Structure 1
Amino acid sequence: MRSDEEHIEQEEHWVSVSDLMAGLMMVFLLVAIVFMVNAEIERNKVRDVAILYDRLRTQLYQDLVREFEPDLEAWGAEINPDLSIRFGRPELIFENGEKDLQDGFKAILTDFFPRYLNIIASDKYRNDIAEVRIEGHTSSGWLGQDDDDAYILNMGLSQERTRSTLDYLLSLGSVEGEKDWLKQHMTANGLSSSKPVLSADGNEDRERSRRVEFRLRTDAESRIAAILQSQL
């Protein structure tokens, strides 16, 4: 008789344990489902931001081309889909080895930059612009110097040139109304010979490597980073 009672107690014990395990499995399953749903929501947010900024970049590129296409050839400039504008006629920009803007480039900037600013700082785009980069690029050589010394010397030169460009742009009376916005968003970046322009044979085109570029960075990266950070 006692054996039957013990058997019943053992069965009840195992039933309660199995019920507990089943309950825990349901909890784990619900947690996994919630996690998967949240992960899918976050993935969709990242996708939506990426789509939004791809469209914005396309629209901004089209607006820049529409505004400046008639002037590009005379300026020796080109507009790229990555939102960079390259001024690539060094004889118009700086004397060889010098940091001061030539008069020809000042005239180009006086025409170009207020129109450029009118687009990027418009209500359509201004809240989505994270940075307006002025980039100075040089060729890789420096007379009488080895590669390392030439790189360092060109780094200093390219930085001085971008600062000269920035200083001139901020002095334009036509940008006075947006000067505060510019000081929050515009940077001057000397890159030495780190990003040379290559010719068809894969070698550096030293003449075209000596250039100034304006490059826009949207805040898509920071928004996506914030979404990913929220998942941690």
Structure 2
Amino acid sequence: MNSETVLGGFSKGDKGVTIFLFAAIGGVIGWFLPTIAGWLLKLPFIPMEGLFEWIATTDNQLITIITPIVGALAGIALALYAFYEALTITVTDEEIKLNSKQKEKVIQKQDISTIFLDGKHLVILGKDDRELFRGEHEEKKKVISETFQDYGYAWSNSDPLEEKYKRWVPDHPDFPNHVNALLAARERALEEDDEEEVKILRKDLADIGVYIRDKNERQYVRISQGGHT
């Protein structure tokens, strides 16, 4: 067996192809932006109407040069952001290294109880049922499951703690007041489609051993054995 296996992320070749494609797509969109702006102006309401009107009506060859360049640069920026966000998983016999957003987290095999997938999230559970890691991945489920099992990690096809989750309602009697307050704030963020706040509150709760599963627009909650709520 290889000394390590790397899952996800982008190889140098992948990065080059991705940057080229995103730049090309952005450039094409930029080239047709004056036409697109004209179509948008026919809508009853659009944001930044003044900008689109200027793009659509300005009779200047510079526009046909500038917009493709701006579009290509925007495409490159989007590609670089995708590289920054991508999760790279390095698996060895002794540990798992997880790299995302220029941050590395190392988890020793001896500290892991189970690994499973929750939708697009890779979840690594510790011995005390705490989530040692949760993050989105782009690999195929079969590749991930076979890799971890090949290296001797405990794998589950579903969340082994699913039965421990309780549906949350305001002022739930089984949860401390500060946990209920955080869950109430997260519920408001969900209703307002504030994705960033939803993520932050999930992390705040996970930091004190409280874990959430979102199902049918409802929050289901469990508190780990090692939680310090």
TM-score under structure 2 normalisation? 0.28
Higher-Rg structure is 1
Higher helix share: 1
* Higher RCO structure (Cα 8 Å, ≥6 apart): 1
Higher strand share: 2
